[in-house]
């Protein structure tokens, strides 16, 4: 059994080179493109956000168009904690993630009971309500201007936030790596396997005695926690929290990024997010409409592939197996 497990792990690594390639490119980017570390840090935090979305969408089968709520709550929580005088960054992220998880837990009973179009509409409604509430609470959120007047202590008391973006980049990388390891353990656990069963056939899982709603609520809460961590890290590395992180547009954008890479395989975020953001960043410098054309072509290709670009690559290589 141990030999089989090791063999499966080796095959899994070969089949899914995306994270390894991602980290190699991340290390190279740190040294080769020092002027782009701010943009690269955005890629890291967005990848972490997409990873959170994949937990509920790819594994639990909860189709959501409102997940930016938890990213935004995490970002604003980190900013407000700093404004209140709590400047320690790591525990600030954990507290912000816990707040986002609490919000997700409160929303879960209203969301996990639905499927199909009603589920989509419910997530859109929650996102719209939270966004409008934040927009009206200008004394707390800063309105359209967002929050900027806050700062954070050096990481571990040693690494100061600098203009070169070195600390920010490494800090975001560390959080992404830790959360990726956490999510990897979750989706390969008995709990993760039960989520896949619920995704494939909710009624059958109910018939065999699985606590479907409880499992979905837990998955949704975990996803909210990770999304909140992503928002808090984004706030700390940019020094900014805004309504844009809460907007429905942010929810749709992160869904598109994940769909491009591949939903439900844990590695799509590492392909879709960098590709989307790099294409948008590069093509928009030529012409504001070029990147829309390029992404449109890319989405058409993804639409007719099974599992996004990662699924297309697997098909081309003759590998038909997923996680």
Asked if the structure places residue 323 within a domain, the reply is: no
| Containing structural domain, residue 15 | 2-316
Per-residue pLDDT of 206-256, as tens digits, reads 988 889 999 999 999 999 999 999 999 999 999 999 999 999 999 999 999
CATH number for the domain harbouring residue 89 = 1.10.3470
Cα angle: 276, vertex 125, 131; to 5 degrees: 70
Q: Which residue, among 155, 171, 167, 160, has the nearest Cα to 45 in the 3D structure?
A: 171
pLDDT confidence bin for 267, thresholds 50/70/90? confident
pLDDT at 171 over 90: yes
Instruction: Give how many domains the chain has, as a whole number.
Output: 1
CA distances from 257 to 4, 253, 273, 322 (A): 34, 6, 5, 19
pLDDT confidence bin for 180, thresholds 50/70/90? very high
* Helices and strands in the chain, H and E counts: 15, 0
Asked if the structure places residue 321 within a domain, the reply is: no
Asked if the structure places residue 182 within a domain, the reply is: yes
Asked if the structure places residue 322 within a domain, the reply is: no
Asked if the structure places residue 178 within a domain, the reply is: yes
pLDDT attached to residue 23? 84
Per-residue pLDDT of 79-126, as tens digits, reads 999 999 999 999 999 999 999 999 999 999 999 989 889 999 999 999
Asked if the structure places residue 180 within a domain, the reply is: yes
Tell me the HSE value of 306 on the side-chain side, using a 13 A CA sphere. Answer: 8
pLDDT at 32 over 60: yes
pLDDT attached to residue 133? 95
Per-residue pLDDT of 196-208, as tens digits, reads 999 999 889 998 8
Q: In this structure, what token pair is assigned to residue 132?
A: 């409008």
Give SS3 for 67: coil
pTM higher than 0.85: yes
- Torsion angle, alpha carbons of 112, 119, 107, 192, to 10: 40
Per-residue pLDDT of 305-318, as tens digits, reads 656 666 666 555 55
User: What are phi and psi for residue 84, nearest 5 degrees?
Assistant: -80, -5
Q: What is the CA radius of gyration of the chain?
A: 19
pLDDT attached to residue 1? 37
């Amino acid at each position: 059994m141990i030999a089989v497990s090791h063999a499966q792990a080796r095959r899994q690594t070969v089949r899914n080179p995306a994270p390894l390639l991602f980290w190699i490119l991340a290390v190279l980017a740190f040294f080769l493109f020092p002027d782009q570390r701010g943009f690269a840090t955005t890629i890291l935090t967005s990848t972490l956000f997409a990873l959170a979305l994949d937990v509920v969408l790819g594994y639990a089968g909860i189709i959501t168009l409102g997940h930016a709520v938890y990213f935004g709550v995490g970002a604003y929580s980190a900013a407000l904690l700093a404004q209140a005088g709590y400047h320690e960054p790591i525990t600030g992220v954990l507290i912000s993630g816990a707040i986002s998880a609490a919000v997700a837990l409160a929303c879960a009973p209203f969301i996990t009971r639905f499927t199909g179009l009603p589920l989509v509409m419910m997530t859109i409604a929650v996102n719209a309500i939270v966004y409008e509430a934040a927009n009206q609470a200008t004394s707390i959120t800063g309105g359209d201007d967002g929050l900027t007047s806050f700062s954070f202590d050096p990481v571990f008391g040693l690494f100061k936030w600098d203009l070169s973006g070195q600390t920010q980049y490494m800090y975001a990388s560390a959080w992404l790596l830790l959360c990726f390891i956490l999510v990897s353990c979750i989706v390969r656990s008995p709990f993760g396997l039960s989520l896949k069963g619920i995704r494939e056939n909710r009624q059958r899982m109910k018939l065999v005695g699985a606590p479907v709603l409880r499992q979905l609520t837990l998955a949704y809460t975990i996803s909210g926690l990770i999304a909140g961590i992503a928002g808090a890290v984004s706030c700390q590395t940019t020094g900014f929290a805004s309504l844009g992180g809460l907007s429905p547009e942010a929810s749709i954008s992160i869904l598109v990024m994940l769909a491009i890479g591949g939903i439900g395989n844990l590695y799509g975020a590492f392909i879709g997010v960098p590709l989307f953001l790099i294409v948008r960043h590069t093509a928009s410098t030529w012409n504001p409409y070029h990147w829309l054309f390029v992404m449109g072509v890319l989405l058409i290709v993804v639409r007719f592939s099974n599992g996004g670009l990662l699924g297309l690559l697997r098909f081309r290589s003759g590998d038909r197996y997923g996680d």
